[in-house]
Amino acid sequence: MWSRDQSFYFFLSIFLFFIFLLKSWITIRNPRKNLPPSPLKLPIIGNLHQLGILPHRTLRSLALRHGPLMLLHFGSNPVLVVSSGDAAQEIMKTNDLSFSNRPKSPIRSKLMYDCKDVVFAPYGEYWRQIRSICVLELLCSKRVQSFRAVREEETSLLMEKIMGSFCSVSPSVVINLSEMLAEHINNVVCREVLGRKYNGGGGSGAGGGRKFKEILMEFMELLGGFNVGDYVPWMRWLGHLNGLYGRADKVAKEIDTFLELVIQEHVEERERNDGDKVTCESRRDFVDVLLQIQRDEVAGFSLHKDTVKALIMDMFIGGVDTTYASLEWTMAELLKDPKSMKRLQNEVREIGRGKQAIIEDDLKKMPYLQAIIKEIMRLHPAIPLIHRESTQNVKVMGYDITASTQVVINTWAIGRDPLVWDEPEDFKPERFLHSSIEFKGHHFELIPFGAGRRSCPGAQFSLAVLQLALANLMLMFDFALPARERVEELDMSEAAGSIICKKLPLLAVVTMCSC
């Protein structure tokens, strides 16, 4: 007979044995995950407090301590931060399919017709169809080249506007370059996408009401703004309390009203010119192309009117602020580095000798201009953070990444990686003169347009506008900083937002070229 103590220890041993078996079974079914390094987080908000006003900079500072692959938590959401070319290649090439989604956002849904566009649409058959339309019909080389006359004409108008700033008593003038360049890019994109410029307010038609430019600015501000409700769901009520969702609804309604009128104008124009194929073809803009696809149901895909509107807005998202930011940073860096500006001017003026303007055929003969554009894309990528989301459990660089993990690829940090770039904080276009590195998504140390399935298909569209404007500015004018402002004093601070522009307007003394 066992004593009471012996019975107790026997049953305790049995109990502990079953606990051990249960724990082993759970471990086998759910093995301990090897997660990327992660800084300490706070309850509820996680690491949100560490983002700061300029997240691309604070995330790089965290990555310097925790590594190029780092796991943060924004509220309840796990967020993988990628800060090196090798890590970006793992995401955008090796495991591209697993990271082909975009994170959801109530603001984006409100502004972009429930994400029916190509930028924010969830990965799937619908996204594949509309991306195919963008690549083959809207942003192919043939289509981009068809707008060449528009770009050259608007560039000529920009030169005339700057020349019109001069007066007879002064050989030079101080101009707000930021303002002029922003208006120029907006005019080019409006003409290519909508068929004409929409600058005025009042009156009837699509130009009526609040200026389209003002609506677009607020649209971009809302689209790139921070909303705590995206990361802490139970705090979404703050978006109603602070008026964020109300503003988004108002802007979405204004954009929709404007686009309805634009589409109606195009339908009426086509009816007036019905049968005149020469006129129709010569005036085709992106809206015309989309409406034609809608009528013909290309590849059997029916294009809903909301999809047409969403794709139109994609052209402005990818074409206006990003191109303007790149051109503004280019002029700022050249003003800080007069030697580089002089070398570029010499190259452009040699090609443009005896010509009234640089045309697009001339650009391929300018290696130093191409090197400067690459250096700007490295040093000042217009979109410093690229967002994706995992669709399944996957291993990245030996770490376990679970499905529905948001991914932030810090292209700004990658472009300044000291393990890849010599003197990474300095503006040195010469580094690209004898380099095979391109920004088409094959060299992951330079990915301003992303890479893989979700790369930006509009790179050629933006670069054509950027290069032509820069070349003609260098051909026609000399630039310098205003009096008593030294190059090392030029303020290069960044404005907050998803697209990084200069915080302060760029002012420059402009003189007509005497050559």
Rounded to whole angstroms, how far apart are CA atoms 195 and 173? 33
Percent of the chain predicted with pLDDT > 90: 72
Q: Tell how far CA 74 is from the center of its chain.
A: 21
Burial 155-183 (b: 16+ CB within 10 A, else e): beebbeebeeeeeeeeebbebebbebbbb
* Crossing angle (nearest 10°) for helices 125-133 and 305-319: 60
Q: What is the mean pLDDT of residues 376-405?
A: 96
Q: Indicate the pLDDT class of residue 14, thresholds 50, 70 and 90.
A: low
DSSP 3-state of 285: coil
Cβ neighbors of 223 (< 8 A, separation 6 or more) are 107, 108, 111, 112, 317, 498
Q: Tell me the pLDDT tens digit for each residue of 102-117.
A: 998 999 999 999 999 9
Res 344 pLDDT > 50: yes
Burial 37-76 (b: 16+ CB within 10 A, else e): ebeebeeebbbbebeeebbbeebbebbeebbbbbbbbbbe
Cβ neighbors of 479 (< 8 A, separation 6 or more) are 331, 334, 335, 341, 473, 508, 509, 510, 511
Q: What is the mean pLDDT of residues 481-507?
A: 92
Q: What is the mean pLDDT of residues 271-291?
A: 73
Res 351 pLDDT > 80: yes
The predicted model scores a pTM of: 0.90
Q: What is the mean pLDDT of residues 285-291?
A: 94
Q: Which CATH class is domain 48-512?
A: mainly alpha
Q: What is the mean pLDDT of residues 21-39?
A: 66
CB distance 191 to 197 below 8 Å: yes
Rounded to whole angstroms, how far apart are CA atoms 512 and 515? 9
Residue 74 C-beta-side C-alpha neighbours within 13 Å: 20
Res 169 pLDDT > 70: no
